[in-house]
Each structure stands twice: as structure tokens, then as C-alpha cells.
Amino acid sequence: DIAANLFMVGMYSILHHGFNRIIEACYASVLPLGMLNPEQTDTQLAFMKKHKVNVLTGTPGTLIQVAHAVQASGVDLKIERILYTGERLGEAKAKVLRAVFPGVRIIGFYGLSECGFMAIEEQGEKYKVRQNAYFLEINDAGRLLVTCLNDELPMPFLRFDTGDAVSLTARGDQVIMAGIDRSDTSFNFVGNLVDVRELRQIA
């Protein structure tokens, strides 16, 4: 497999490096592409086609940008798998990706910048949590609390409030996460938590 890594390098690039580790562990080659440049989109897509890119990694927003660019340029990319994280994909975006890349398999990852990737999507927006790495709880407000059990982290933490609302179920000794969504109106913007209400007030 040849994977185009669409996460930015620099600024808040933990996702770029994290996905490089995942791709390398699968014995695939990494093409560190970054975001599409509107002035060079055709060149970037031609470069991806020349090197037979068949896997894309990125946020749903970036992946949709690539899909629209493919439609507009007519460059035919044979994308077999898409790996995403950073936000919910949503049915509308998934529909666009499947229309542009027929037969594509879309796989979500759930993680925190504080401790890396915690879970991988298996089906229907259900995520399998990595075993023997995390202890998960739901607090009284319905928010996910995470205790990281990785003693290799420079800063171990207990009961970290993620700000996400999820449901947890057990399947034998496997923990399953579902219904992942923000518990309030805040969102991540270049590594900063921004509340929609503040933007409304400013506007």
C-alpha cells in the first residue's frame, strides 16, 4: 500500500506523526503530502496517481477537499482505504467519499493528543478500545474520563476529562465505544478549544 498522509506537518502535527507510525506498522509506504495547495492541486493529484496512492489519511474535511479536487480535475485515483480522525465523519461526507472512490473502506480512529490513538472503528461507528492501555469511565455529566495506563508516557494522567460524550459497553473483555460526540458546543481549531457561543458573540 502507498498512503498519502494529508495531516499537516508543523504547528499541531501529532496526527501526522501518529498516522505515520500506524502506516509504517502495516508495512506500507508513506507519502507525506500535507494539505492540497489550491494553486497546485492538479500537480499534487498527478503525483499521487503516478506513485499509485491507494490509501488516504486525514480529517474528514481534508478528505472531502481531496474528493472534490478529484471530481474537478478528472484525475482517477484508485483509493481502496481511507483512515480518518479529528472529527466525526457524518453520513453526508461518507456518501461523497464513496461516490468519488467506489468500493472504498472507511476506517475511523479515536484518540487524544495527550495519549495517542485509543480506539479503532470496526463497524457502524462502534470503536474497539485498545486493551491493556486505558481505563474508561463516564462521569455524571455523561462525559468520557480516561485513565492512561501507559507508563512510557512522559506525563501519566488519571481521569482526564475528554469533553466527549460516548456510550461504553463490554463485549467479553473488550470495551466498545459508540455514539461519540462533543458534550458541548466547543470544537478543536488548530489545537485550541473554541466554543461556538464565543464565536456567535464576536460575530
Encode pLDDT of 16-42 as tens digits.
Answer: 888 888 899 999 999 878 777 888 888
Query: Quick one: how far is CA 73 from the chain centroid?
Result: 25
How long is the chain? 203
Nearest to 59 by CA among 12, 114, 100, 101: 12
Whole-model pTM? 0.81
Q: Which of 99-103, 126-130, 138-142, 185-189 has the highest mean pLDDT?
A: 99-103
Grid cell in block for residue 104: 472504498
3-state secondary structure of 108: strand
CA distances (Å), origin 167, targets 74, 90, 178: 42, 18, 5
**Per-residue pLDDT reduced to its tens digit, 51-82:** 999 999 998 988 999 999 999 998 999 999 99
Percent of the chain with pLDDT over 70: 95
